[in-house]
């Protein structure tokens, strides 16, 4: 598993294309959009993105770029995976589960681990698994599998911030629960990706 790679090659190409076409697609340079955002009445990122769409016709990907440029530089960004990981996986119990999942990922060819603000993703060409900490030293693992493929899986009860393709989840109470069955499901999910 490539840890710290952050993005797959496909994702890197996509981001490069989005950045290269930004001004052409939006009609303004990024600095101008940062100034426009100063007049935005919204404070929550989703509401700000909706405002950009409603008032200026800016799509989701370009809105994300604009909001990232407006973000205070005191917190870690997407390009600082170790800082994001440290901020997210503070609980030792949850971190032990993540490390067990990473151990499973090491046994699957071509897996890239990427850290996001709210979860750790696992990708090949596309994201096929993700995990985030839960209260009490636990973790939630999302997989690109049919929930009926194992008794341990359930359908995602809420919309997660990771890929909508990850429709099966399993709550893990400790690293010992990352067993042969979870390893099998993780590998199957990678094949589905």
**DSSP type of residue 73:** T
pTM of the model: 0.68
- Max mean pLDDT among 3-7, 34-38, 59-63, 180-184 falls in 180-184
DSSP string, 133-151: EETTTEEEEEESS-GGG-T
> How do residues 70-122 score in pLDDT, each as one tens digit?
876 666 666 677 888 998 999 999 999 999 999 999 999 999 998 888 999 99
**pLDDT number for residue 2:** 47
Q: Give the position of tokens 């997660």.
A: 160
Residue 3: the pLDDT is 47
Mean pLDDT is lowest, of 39-48, 73-82, 121-130, 136-145, for: 73-82
* Extended strands (E) in 49-167: 112-115, 120-123, 127-134, 138-143, 154-155
54-59: average pLDDT: 93
Task: Give the CA diameter of the chain.
Answer: 53
Residue 141 tokens read as 């693992």
Give the right CATH number for 80-192 from 3.20.20, 3.90.1150, 3.50.40, 3.30.750. 3.90.1150
Q: What are the sequence ranges of the domains in the chain?
A: 9-70, 80-192
């Amino acid at each position: 598993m490539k840890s710290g790679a952050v993005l797959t090659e496909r994702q890197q190409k996509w981001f490069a294309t989005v950045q290269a076409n930004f001004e052409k697609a939006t009609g303004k340079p990024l600095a101008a959009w940062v100034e426009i955002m100063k007049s935005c009445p919204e404070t929550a990122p989703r509401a700000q993105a909706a405002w950009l769409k409603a008032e200026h016709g800016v799509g989701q990907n370009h809105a994300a770029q604009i909001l990232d440029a407006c973000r205070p530089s005191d917190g870690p960004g997407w390009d600082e995976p170790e800082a994001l990981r440290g901020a997210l996986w503070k609980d030792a119990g949850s971190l032990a589960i993540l490390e067990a999942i990473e151990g499973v990922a090491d046994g699957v060819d071509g897996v890239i681990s990427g850290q996001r603000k709210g979860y750790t993703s696992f990708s090949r060409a596309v994201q096929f698994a993700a995990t985030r900490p839960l209260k009490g030293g636990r973790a939630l693992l999302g997989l690109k599998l049919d929930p009926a493929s194992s008794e341990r899986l359930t359908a995602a009860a809420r919309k997660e911030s990771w890929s909508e393709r990850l429709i099966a989840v399993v709550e893990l109470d400790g690293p010992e629960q990352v067993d042969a069955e979870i390893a099998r499901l993780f590998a199957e999910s990678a094949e589905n990706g």
